[in-house]
Amino acid sequence: MSNMKKAHFIVEGRVQGVSFRWFVRDSAIQLGLTGTVKNLSDGSVDVYVEGAESRILDLVQIMRKGNGISRVDGIHEKWEDSTQEWQTFTILF
């Protein structure tokens, strides 16, 4: 499937200590995506995601909107072809 993609996002803003990782995980699972999410030491959140490109774009919009507590100031994106690296979407600690 040519529309299957892998994307890496660094999400900046008020995204730690506000349940943002759980919000991203739940949203990704609802969209049928796989990957990981984790906090980084600089206060940003690291997201790797794989699935249909349109669903990943939906997740980007959901992340930009936030969970009502978070504030997203920016998202750095890197896209590539899917490697089918993950079977589920998990939070890394």
Annotated catalytic residue: which of 21, 25, 64, 71? 21
pLDDT tens digits for range 11-60: 999 999 999 999 999 999 999 999 999 999 999 999 999 999 999 999 99
39 is catalytic: yes
Phi, psi of 42 (to 5 degrees): -85, 5
- Cα Rg of the chain (Å, integer): 12
**Residue 42 has what pLDDT?**
98
Alpha helices in 20-91 (DSSP H): 20-30, 53-65
**Residue 28 has what pLDDT?**
98
What is the CB-side half-sphere exposure of residue 6 using CA atoms within 13 A? Answer: 10
* Structural domain harbouring 83: 4-91
25 is catalytic: no
What's the number of domains the chain is made of? 1
- Contact indicator for 38, 26 with CB cutoff of 8 Å: no
pLDDT above 60: residue 1: no
CATH of residue 63: 3.30.70.100
Task: Report the alpha-carbon distance of residue 28 to residue 49 in Å, rounded.
Answer: 8
Annotated catalytic residue: which of 14, 25, 39, 64? 39
Q: How many CB atoms lie within 10 A of CB 22?
A: 12
Structure-block tokens of residue 85? 């690296």
**Residue 4 has what pLDDT?**
95
**Residue 2 has what pLDDT?**
57
